[in-house]
Amino acid sequence: MAEFTLELNDDQKQVRDWLHGFAADVIRPAASEWDEREETPWPVIQEAAKVGIYSLDFYAQQFFDPTGLGIPMAMEELFWGDAGIALSIVGTGLAAVGVLANGTEEQIGTWIPQMYGDADDVKVAAFCSSEPDAGSDVASMRTRAVYDQAKDEWVLNGTKTWATNGGIANVHVVVAVVDPELGSKGHASFIVPPNTPGLSQGQKFKKHGIRASHTAEVVLEDVRVPGHCLLGGKEKLDQRLARARERAATGGERVKNAAMATFEASRPAVGAMAVGTARAAYEVALDYAKTRTQFGRPIIDNQGVAFQLADMRTQIDAARLLVWRASWMATTGKPFESAEGSMSKLYASETAKKVTAQAIQILGGNGFTREYPVERMHRDAAIYTIFEGTSEIQRLVIARTLSGMPIR
């Protein structure tokens, strides 16, 4: 078991510097254009694929880093470049995590490579959980999956929303209700293969931030998928549902649902994204404060500005430490007894919103214009307190974990 450390090893430093170079040389110069276009930056994704960043091998190497720091380090550097483009590059990862968390070895080996494609034929994937009436309240999910035993097929019907890469993905991972009486414990995850009839893109959202990332509704109308597309397999599902029914009858401990398993695994990574955005805004503000003069001296000489920068740096470092701790705990199998994953996501998300707002304030009128990147960073930062569990939901998870109450 790897010991917790705050020092990256030489290999990790080399990867970090490589990612930072890509973020600085490829992502940042394209950030403003794709934010304005509000389109998926396919040329940047393809460039990332060519150099090996957008690939199954790269993410597998970071995911299986024994220290747990590979993924958060990668997320921080890419999102330091630009949140919208970075999310287009890493958005497939949420679907991949869904398969890793719930799928069999055969499913992992079959479907994850199809989510990425290759440098000559780039693909993306989508994880579809949220619905118009079921965001934080996953128990209200209405998308149904009914088993057709005669054909060994599952039939999916419903509408998903807020799906990154929804409708344009090669592979969709869809969470659906298989037993409505069990609430959120009656959910399962399904692979919808490429070109499956009945799946279509609904509304594409025009967003406040992360505008280079495609977000849309996914409509499922009598979508039939083979039985082997049920993640984990039917035998495992039947066993899980039986345990859930028994526990519901006896009032015993609740089991986790498929969507929650995916979100728990990804929350520290989202925290790392927020750290990257916050760090980028802080660095812009710091450089500006050193060079901008008012009343004959750099504005950093004023305590009002200097103290803001001191607080910004302190909060960023604290957020990174929480993210690294949670990532290390997850990798080494230590349970989140105090909801450390939610802690990391909560604090890093709130830090990103606060730091980017402070950066605008330090730049003054310039910060409010699109000539400087901090206004875009502030718009992008707003999403971190919303997606993959709002800050309010994170606080609820933490509070219930500390009190011993069940997390629904």
| Active site (catalytic) residues | 388
- 223 strand-pairing partners: 156
Radius of gyration of the chain (CA): 22
Length of the chain: 408
State phi, psi for 185 to the nearest 5 degrees. Answer: -85, -5
**In contact, 352 and 323? CB cutoff 8 Å:** no
- Which DSSP helix (H) or strand (E) runs through 171? strand 171-177
User: First and final CA of the chain: distance in angstroms?
Assistant: 31
By 3-state DSSP, what share of the chain in percent is helix, strand and coil, each rounded to 5?
Answer: 60, 15, 25
Pairing between strand 293-294 and 171-177? unpaired
Q: Which of 288, 346, 289 is nearest to 322 (CA)?
A: 346
Given the structure tokens 């660095």, which residue do they identify?
Answer: 283
Whole-number Å distance between alpha carbons of 315 and 329: 21
341-374 exposure pattern, b = at least 16 Cβ within 10 A, e = fewer: bbbbbbbbbbbbbebbbbbbebbeeebeeeebbb
404 exposure class (CB count in 10 Å sphere: 0-12, 13-18, 19+): exposed
Q: What is the DSSP letter of 2?
A: P
Whole-number Å distance between alpha carbons of 45 and 116: 10
Phi-psi region of 372 (alpha: psi -120 to 50; beta: other; left: phi over 0): beta
Whole-number Å distance between alpha carbons of 289 and 230: 54
